[in-house]
């Protein structure tokens, strides 16, 4: 592969992924076409197919990138808190943050999840990516809770499942009734007592 093409490839992929996110959020996964994505990104179909084979592969690449960004952002925010100030309340404040752009991603991932519920093959593939996200989240939670002086009394993977369910369920209600339930409000109210119940104080053990 020519050197110029090697250097351009990450930029091409990044542009295609951003165009995909915008197109999926605007038109929906099923209605969006590869032509629309290429036009928005400013690339040809040839450039598309040299990086991705299908819309499903695009979504999964978006899923992995979003998962990694969320976990990295959470870790950076927690790491910025001094150890003596890292309490469950401080950790909950980090977990409750919802960026405005999250609504766009929620529209995209919800439609693909519905597709996976109907299609066993899509469900199997999505489950593999879900599992990787949970593993990242479980490791991060275990480390952050340890810094806060807490030890999990349940499986970290199960807690990750629960926190994802709470976040996705809360966002669904928030996006339908944004004035009644701002994003993150449920987590702000209930995550601290939940984490208290599911952890033990390791500093007094």
CB atoms within 10 A of CB 185: 15
Question: Are 92 and 150 in a shared domain?
Answer: yes
- If asked whether residues 99 and 157 sit together in one domain, one would say yes
Q: Which two tokens stand for residue 66?
A: 């979003």
Q: Do residues 126 and 76 both lie within one domain?
A: yes
Last residue of a domain, one of 36, 53, 70: 53
- DSSP letter assigned to residue 53: S
Question: pLDDT tens digits, the chain, 205 residues: what are they?
Answer: 444 455 677 888 999 999 999 999 898 888 999 999 999 999 999 989 989 999 999 999 999 999 999 999 999 999 999 988 999 999 999 999 998 889 999 999 999 999 999 999 999 999 999 999 999 999 999 999 999 999 999 999 999 999 999 999 999 999 999 999 999 999 999 999 999 999 999 876 5
Domain coverage including residue 91: 55-201
Q: Do residue 141 and residue 190 come from a single domain? A: yes
Same domain, 106 and 42: no
- pLDDT of 2 reads 45
CA-wise closest residue to 205 among 123, 161, 146, 164: 146
- Return d(Cα 33, Cα 189) in angstroms, integer: 41
Interacting residues of 171 by C-beta distance below 8 A, sequence separation 6+: 98, 102, 103, 106, 183
Give a three-class secondary structure readout of 12-72. Answer: HHHHHHHHHHHHHHHHCCCCCCHHHHHHHHCCCHHHHHCCCCCHHHHHHHHHHHHHHHHHH
Instruction: Specify whether 43 is located in the same domain as 78.
Output: no
Is residue 43 domain-shared with residue 79, that is, in the same domain? no
CATH number at residue 105: 1.10.357.10
Q: Given 11, 34, 53, which residue is the final one in a domain? A: 53
pTM equals: 0.86
Q: How far apart are CA 160 and CA 61, in angstroms?
A: 21
Q: Please, are residues 71 and 40 in contact by the beta-carbon 8 Å criterion?
A: no
- The residue among 53, 70, 95 that closes a domain is 53
Number of domains in the chain: 2
Same domain, residue pair 92 and 179: yes
Does one domain contain both 147 and 197?
Answer: yes
Q: Let me know whether 23 and 47 are in one domain.
A: yes
Kindly state whether residues 186 and 116 are assigned to the same domain: yes
- Both 195 and 162 in a single domain? yes
Enter the tokens of residue 132.
């990787």
């Amino acid at each position: 592969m020519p050197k110029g093409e090697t250097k351009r490839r990450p930029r091409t992929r990044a542009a295609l992924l951003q165009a995909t996110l915008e197109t999926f959020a605007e038109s929906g996964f099923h209605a969006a076409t590869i032509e629309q994505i290429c036009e928005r990104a400013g690339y040809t179909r040839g450039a598309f197919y040299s990086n991705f084979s299908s819309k499903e592969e695009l979504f999964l690449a978006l899923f992995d990138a979003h998962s990694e960004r969320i976990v990295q952002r959470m870790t950076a925010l927690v790491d910025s808190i001094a150890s003596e100030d890292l309490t469950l309340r401080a950790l909950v404040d980090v977990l409750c943050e919802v960026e405005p752009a999250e609504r766009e991603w929620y529209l995209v991932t919800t439609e693909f999840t519905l597709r996976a519920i109907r299609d066993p093959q899509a469900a199997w593939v999505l489950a593999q990516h879900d599992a990787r996200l949970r593993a990242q989240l479980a490791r991060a939670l275990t480390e952050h809770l340890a810094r806060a002086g807490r030890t999990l009394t349940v499986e970290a993977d199960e807690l990750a499942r629960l926190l994802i369910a709470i976040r996705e369920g809360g966002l669904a209600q928030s996006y339908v009734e944004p004035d009644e339930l701002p994003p993150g409000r449920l987590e702000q109210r209930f995550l601290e007592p939940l984490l208290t119940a599911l952890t033990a104080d390791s500093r007094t053990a």
